[in-house]
Amino acid sequence: MGEFDLIARYFTRPVRRAALGVGDDCALLAPAPGMQLAVSCDMLVEGRHFFADVDPEALGHKALAVNLSDLAACGARPLAFTLALALPRADEPWLKAFAGGLLRLADAHDCELIGGDTTAGPLNICITVFGEVPAGGALLRSGARAGDDIYVSGTLGDARLALDALRSHPQAAALSPALLATARQRLERPTPRVALGLALRGVASSALDVSDGLLGDLGHILRASGVGARIELAWTTDLIAGYAVLTRASAEFDADYLEQCVLAGGDDYELAFTAPPSLRDAVAAAAQASGARVTRIGVIEATPGLRLVDARGLPVTRHYASFDHFA
């Protein structure tokens, strides 16, 4: 199968909303009047972001999910994406499964594949996603103000637990096969919080998606906004309470290790955001409308820096490094 047969068979579909899709030198997008295009790009590299033997269907899902998560963090509605693909060989069963996972998630978000590039090489997947947001209405990292509440959606830590178990990390060894299967879903098939991001337009003062670990990612909001934060560790335990894996597994796990998974785990693709206390009802309504759980974990303060306090309000120190490819 040649390059163009491959593109035609697996990555070409009827155009829906775009003005022009796959097949010409450029695709054409027509943003609606009064809207801005939100653009984000994420690359997945074998051996770095996924294991060589990962299920290709899950890989297709994740490659788009991590990009949709960036749109969610900005409160943008998905429109379209491009796919740059380097493949060691044209393996048809692999391509069929990969395209299946990718395009099922794309259809669920009405986000169409409008172009890309295909080349031979070490497996590498790079997606650029386009969304739309009312002009001036994007959720940014820079909008947090002293006094704002800090929230996190969903639960945190399961992806890290699964990754550690798959790498035979001794502290994750207690994970039973059944719990590993559930945690692995969070690692390999993350759910982008698109509906929540849309519901938070006009409500959240700042937002980002948690991909490299909560504390490190929160630091981006604090620096961009020129503020600090107090995080109540007693409240962050709620981030593990609702979801099956960490809760059911917790008896077998070291409490410090679990805390590290929650606060610095990475690959969660939940949203962290801030909102003024006057909008608590609006935050609750956004959570309700989007079907995502939201937990308040702390408050923005004027003094720069991230301060952690325990259940008695006493300061505690943690030294979790956020993920950094070149650190």
For residues 121 and 315, which CB has a smaller minimum distance to ligand ADP in the complex? Answer: 121
Q: Are 308 and 316 in contact (CB under 8 A)?
A: yes
CB atoms within 10 A of CB 277: 11
Q: How far apart are CA 156 and CA 147, in angstroms?
A: 24
Determine, following the binding rule CB under 6 A, whether residue 53 of this chain makes contact with ligand ADP.
Answer: no
- Is residue 215 within 8 A of residue 322, CB to CB? The reply is yes
Which range, of 20-28, 215-223, 291-299, 319-327, touches ligand ADP by CB under 6 A?
A: 20-28
Residue nearest to Mg ion (CB): 117
Q: Is 291 left (phi over 0), alpha (psi -120 to 50) or beta?
A: left
Whole-number minimum distance, CB 22 to ligand ADP, in Å?
4
Q: At what angle are helices 177-188 and 158-166 packed, to 10 degrees?
A: 110
- Check binding of 272 to ligand ADP (CB under 6 A): no
Candidates 70-78, 100-108, 109-117, 239-247; binding stretch for ligand ADP (CB under 6 A): 109-117
Nearer to Mg ion, 22 or 161 (CB): 22
Complex with Mg ion: residue 110 or 117, whichever CB lies closer: 117
Nearer to ligand ADP, 83 or 275 (CB): 83
Establish if 91 lies at the interface with ligand ADP (CB under 6 A): no
Tell me which residue of 35, 14, 105 sits closest to 65, measured CA to CA. 105
Contacts of 250 (CB under 8 A, 6+ apart): 240, 258
Select the residue interacting with ligand ADP from 23, 242, 277, 304 (CB under 6 A).
23
Candidates 2, 24, 317, 324: give the one binding ligand ADP (CB under 6 A).
24
Q: CB burial class (10 A; 0-12, 13-18, 19+) of residue 309?
A: middle
Q: Where are the beta strands (DSSP E) in 97-175?
A: 112-120, 124-134, 149-153
Q: Is 85 in the site for ligand ADP (CB under 6 A)?
A: yes
Is 56 a binder of ligand ADP (CB under 6 A)? no
Using CB under 6 A as the binding criterion, the count of chain residues that bind ligand ADP stands at 13
**Do 120 and 90 meet the contact criterion of CB atoms below 8 Å apart?**
no
Query: What are the C-alpha distances in Å from 112 to residues 50, 57, 109, 285?
Result: 24, 18, 9, 29
Nearer to ligand ADP, 11 or 151 (CB): 11
Q: What does the DSSP assignment read for 202-235?
A: TT-SEEEEESS-HHHHHHHHHHHHT-EEEEEHHH
Q: Is 117 in the site for ligand ADP (CB under 6 A)?
A: yes
For residue 256, the partner it binds in Mg ion, ligand ADP, none, with Cβ less than 5 to 8 A by kind, is: none
Exposure string of 104-116, with b = 16+ CB inside 10 Å and e = fewer, is ebbeebebbbbbb
Stretch that binds ligand ADP, among 17-25, 276-284, 286-294, 307-315 (CB under 6 A): 17-25
Taking residues 118 to 157 in sequence order and writing x for each that binds ligand ADP by CB under 6 A, - otherwise, the string is x---------------------------------------
Cβ atoms of residues 271 and 152 within 8 Å: yes
Query: Which of ligand ADP, Mg ion, none sits in contact with 7, Cβ below 5 to 8 A by type?
Result: ligand ADP
- Which one of residues 11, 98, 151, 253 is an interface residue with ligand ADP (CB under 6 A)? 11
Pick the closer one to Mg ion by CB: 10 or 273: 10
Residue 25 interacting with ligand ADP (CB under 6 A): yes
Give the binding site for ligand ADP (CB under 6 A): 7, 11, 22-25, 83, 85, 113, 115-118
